[in-house]
Amino acid sequence: VIAPVDNPAQRLPPADSPALADLLRTGQVRRAQQAQGRPSRPPLSIGVPGLDAALGGGLSRGQLHEIVAPPSAGGTALLRAALASALRAGELCALIDPADAFDPRGARAAGLDLRRLLWVRPATLPQALRAAEIALEARFALVALDLADASGPRAAQARQRGAAAAAQRERGVHLVRFGPPRKSERISPSPWARLSRRAEQHGGALVVLARAPQAGAFAAATVELSRARARWVGSPGTAGRLLQAGCALGAVARSRRGPPSAPLLLQLPVLDEGAAEDGGAEPGEAE
Amino acid sequence: MRIACLWVPELPLVAVLRAEPSLVSTMLAVVQPAPGDAKGVLSSRLRLVGAAGAEGVVAGQTLAEAQALCPELRVRLASPERVRAAAQAAVDAAASVTPRLEEAAPGLVFLDVGGLESLIGDEAAVARELLRASERVGLCAAVGLAEGKAAARLAARAAAADARPRRTRAGVGGGALRVVPRDEQRAFLEHLTLAQAEVSPDLAAAARRFGLATLGELARLPRRELSLRLGPEGVALHRLAHGEDDSHLVARQLPEPFEEGEELDWSAASVEPLLFLWKALLDRLCARMAARGLAAAELCLLLRLAGGAWDERRIELAAPTREVGPLLTLLRLEVEARPPPEGVCAVRLSARPAREASDQLGLFGPRTASPTQLSAAVARLAALVGPDRVGQPCAPDVHRPNAFAVERFAPPAAAALDGAPQPQTGVQRREAANEDPAQVALAIRALRPPRTAEVRCGDEGQPRLVIGEGALGGRVTASAGPWRTVAEWWTDSPVALDSWDLELAGGLLLRASRELDSGAWWIEAVYD
């Protein structure tokens, strides 16, 4: 029994026990912070040790994380690496893939244990968000929400418009570049509030891959990737010419746990799927 | 042998109340057409098979007689679908207590209760558990427990007098029980009247001529003389009055599919009215499966069309579940995808059951998903996005670009993975060997279906410019290829194409293919 003392200053607690200081000041016994929390489990690796360190150990369970990357900057590769790490650890994972872009053959070659991966292919963006919520409620350890190409019906409409325009133009050259979605194309914040709350309630890590930041303050950490020059081997026009690797710069742009990290050069080697399944040839060995 | 008898008195009436619990507090008559009058439109030819709440109205009267006695009587036609489902529900309720049971007739189930003391408690507790199980599947039943089947049946009949149907969440409940201890069985039987002993009318009339009113009076007569005057039936009754019962319980295999059905008074021409019906059927079906610890692995929907034909739909579930919401959505999706050609006048829903998956969860550490939760989640996802769009991804052994397959999601238990070396391939081995901290394999984002594109090539055949849909276009700054794929030439859709890896001016990495026969270009994937 700890009784309140008349003069707390007479019994100053050690500087490193704020809970005890609080107790002596208020005279109230409260539940210890550590006891009321759930037993902690180690964070999930994102698959790149450098980024894991910048994230404070990896993807925290019970929190929402974002990977923001333009096309060909390794966003999908990083998402797949995070899935591979979690699956290797024996966790159950779910991939919500509204763009229907997942490549099972490449994933198997990259070492993903597909038996513990649930692949969900929603047709619309609202369905994708709801599917992520259901997966979190079912206590999947890692839920990957791939919104890189998907903006649901809007993207489909845009594609239709593009096809119509292509049909109209005859021989003209039409160059369009990727860019971040306009502000009006961003998903309203309420789904992210709900998803982050679900992740917290059920202890699953949610990773969202998008072309532009989506979740805002609801994301515990945001990993941003940018494209770097890809590496090719062999002389142009010869049979030995190969795409050896993509390259990207990755950094933790925002994190609740710490300051932004310095950019890290990511090598994204092209995997020879057949060789990887048979014996694991290095990319570019054919050269 | 101690036997319990679960009896649903007035099964057609209880079947109606189970389907329409709101009728519990009303004066209700259940009628069926007299033999030979298939349509049964005349109230004088409709005969009551059950009645509740109305004084003077009893089974056996015609509807005209009953309505003359009670004009406010609410009337329902006896439904074979409902009666069959109620009888099956009685078996399910009994099976939730013990697997050693025998269905002697629809709504009449005998159970061997030997050995249940350690599981449930004394005999009164077993009888109460049976009543609770009946209520869970929406039945008002009477439970008798005695030595032998005949005495148990009579105990159940005695209890039925105290049963008062009342509305419950699952349908109707409010049964009653009677437990006859071994040493009191003789006294219990002696006080039963011949009418309570369910004696045939001829034998009852003969016994009345002898001045016999109860089984006790019959038991005091010598058996030999009784057999001379009343025949074998009289001897059987004498043996029963002495508590002698040679009949044995013959345990039978329980019926495998769970069925619930309903007939409509009209023919439904849209999905909306059917949704209400399916919801009620699924509620009852899932309650019955829950009573036996099972879940639906496959649903079969039978629709009887206005023309009399049956339309059958089978829905294989991604994972066993008994959550009504997802199952209802799957039924709706199925019927909306292929509407029946005519109006629907009857519905039968059956479920192929599967055992609930069980797994030992850890004592320490946070809770993870149980197999049942996983199954329910997969079923909910299937209902949300479609059953063919949820599952475990598979890479088929084909050369077609972007080929994939989806299989049923059945992850191995975590324990099965412990200790087993995980296969390491490709990048994993490289990572292990090099320990390169910043290396992950470039992934492919498949474009399904592939996007059409116009590709202009240089003199040497190398692509120079891609004009594609939306952002998939630009000047080619680097390329590699072609790699020829010729496969499936023996099928109607052969694969014959040259593939290229392209880097566009903005840094976008693509995989494009040109069909050999048509020369058309497609963008199959984006490297990301």
pLDDT tens track for B270-318: 888 888 889 989 998 998 888 888 888 888 999 998 888 899 988 877 6
Q: Model ipTM?
A: 0.75
Q: Which member of B395, B424, B436 has the closest CB to residue A267?
A: B436
**Choice between B357 and B522, residue whose per-residue pLDDT is larger:** B522
In terms of CA atoms, which chain B residue is nearest residue A120?
B390
**pLDDT < 70: residue spans in chain A:** 1-40, 150-189, 273-287
Distance, in Å, from the CA atom of B228 to the CA atom of B14, rounded to the nearest integer, reads 42
Instruction: Return the C-alpha torsion angle B211, B217, B222, B225, nearest 10.
Output: 20
User: What is the pLDDT, as a whole number, of residue A287?
Assistant: 30
Distance, in Å, from the CA atom of B437 to the CA atom of A51, rounded to the nearest integer, reads 9
pLDDT tens track for B103-122: 989 999 999 988 888 888 88
Across all residues in chain B, what is the average pLDDT?
83
User: What is the pLDDT, as a whole number, of residue A22?
Assistant: 62
The owner of tokens 């619930």 is B260
Q: Which two tokens stand for residue B227?
A: 């057999």
Chain A residues inside the 8 Å CB shell of B444: 76, 103, 106
Q: Which member of A131, A166, A227 has the closest CB to residue B507?
A: A227
Percent of chain B's residues with pLDDT above 90 = 20
- Report CA torsion sign: A188, A189, A191, A195: positive
Q: Which member of A99, A237, A250 has the closest CB to residue B460?
A: A237
User: What is the pLDDT, as a whole number, of residue B167?
Assistant: 85
User: What is the pLDDT, as a whole number, of residue B223?
Assistant: 86
User: What is the pLDDT, as a whole number, of residue A274?
Assistant: 57
Q: Does A143 touch chain B (CB under 8 A)?
A: no
pLDDT score of B341 more than 70: yes
**Three-state secondary-structure class, residue B103:** strand
- Determine, for residues B443 and A109 on separate chains, whether the beta-carbon distance falls below 8 Å: no
Residue A110 has phi, psi (to 5 degrees) of: -80, 0
Out of A17-26, A243-252, B251-260, B331-340, least confident range: A17-26
The burial class, CB within 10 Å (0-12 / 13-18 / 19+), for B338 is exposed
- Determine, for residues B503 and A230 on separate chains, whether the beta-carbon distance falls below 8 Å: yes
Question: Contact, B110 vs B104, CB < 8 A?
Answer: yes
- Determine, for residues B438 and A48 on separate chains, whether the beta-carbon distance falls below 8 Å: yes
Q: Does A21 touch chain B (CB under 8 A)?
A: no
How far from the centroid of its chain's Cα atoms is residue A109's Cα?
A: 21
- Determine, for residues B380 and A78 on separate chains, whether the beta-carbon distance falls below 8 Å: no
**CA-based nearest residue to A103, from B396, B361, B194:** B396
Q: Which residues pair with B75 in a beta bridge?
A: B29
The owner of tokens 């050609």 is B341
The owner of tokens 């048979």 is A278
**Three-state secondary-structure class, residue B350:** strand
- Determine, for residues B427 and A271 on separate chains, whether the beta-carbon distance falls below 8 Å: yes
How many Cβ atoms from other residues are within 10 Å of residue B384's Cβ?
21
* Greatest C-alpha distance within chain B: 119
Q: Does A197 touch chain B (CB under 8 A)?
A: no
How far from the centroid of its chain's Cα atoms is residue B371's Cα?
A: 19
pLDDT tens track for B399-447: 888 889 999 888 876 554 444 444 444 444 444 444 454 678 899 999 9
User: What is the pLDDT, as a whole number, of residue B491?
Assistant: 87
**Choice between B356 and B406, residue whose per-residue pLDDT is larger:** B406
**Three-state secondary-structure class, residue A253:** strand
User: What is the pLDDT, as a whole number, of residue B471?
Assistant: 78
Q: Does A90 touch chain B (CB under 8 A)?
A: yes
- Determine, for residues B474 and A173 on separate chains, whether the beta-carbon distance falls below 8 Å: no
- Determine, for residues B471 and A176 on separate chains, whether the beta-carbon distance falls below 8 Å: yes
**Choice between B34 and A164, residue whose per-residue pLDDT is larger:** B34
Interface of A with B in 206-245 (CB under 8 A): 227, 229-230, 232, 234, 236-237, 241-243, 245
**Choice between B465 and A287, residue whose per-residue pLDDT is larger:** B465
Residue A59 has phi, psi (to 5 degrees) of: -85, 115
Number of Cα atoms under 13 Å in the Cβ half of residue B261: 22
Q: Which member of B381, B394, B445 has the closest CB to residue A148?
A: B445
Looking at the complex, report in whole angstroms how far the Cα of residue A171 sits from the nearest Cα belonging to chain B: 10
Confidence of residue B161 (pLDDT cuts 50, 70, 90): confident
- Determine, for residues B442 and A100 on separate chains, whether the beta-carbon distance falls below 8 Å: no
Q: Which two tokens stand for residue B174?
A: 């409010």
User: What is the pLDDT, as a whole number, of residue A30?
Assistant: 52
**CA-based nearest residue to B444, from A219, A104, A14, A90:** A104
pLDDT tens track for A79-122: 999 999 999 888 899 999 999 999 999 998 888 889 999 999 99
**CA-based nearest residue to B197, from B231, B163, B164, B245:** B245
pLDDT score of B28 more than 60: yes
Confidence of residue B366 (pLDDT cuts 50, 70, 90): low
H-helix segments, B294-450: 324-337, 371-385, 414-417, 426-434
Question: Contact, B4 vs B143, CB < 8 A?
Answer: yes
- Determine, for residues B441 and A230 on separate chains, whether the beta-carbon distance falls below 8 Å: no
**CA-based nearest residue to B179, from B376, B411, B3, B305:** B3
Q: Which of A125, A134, A223 to mutate to test the interface with B (most CBs of B within 10 A)?
A: A134
- Continuous segment of H or E residues that includes residue B173: strand B171-173
Extract the runs of DSSP E, i.e. beta strands, from chain A: 64-68, 93-96, 117-120, 142-146, 205-210, 221-233, 242-255, 264-269
- Determine, for residues A69 and B528 on separate chains, whether the beta-carbon distance falls below 8 Å: yes
DSSP-assigned letter for residue B439: B
In terms of CA atoms, which chain B residue is nearest residue A161?
B470
User: What is the pLDDT, as a whole number, of residue A281?
Assistant: 37
Q: Which two tokens stand for residue B233?
A: 């039936």
- Report CA torsion sign: B121, B123, B127, B130: positive
Q: Which two tokens stand for residue B222?
A: 């010598």
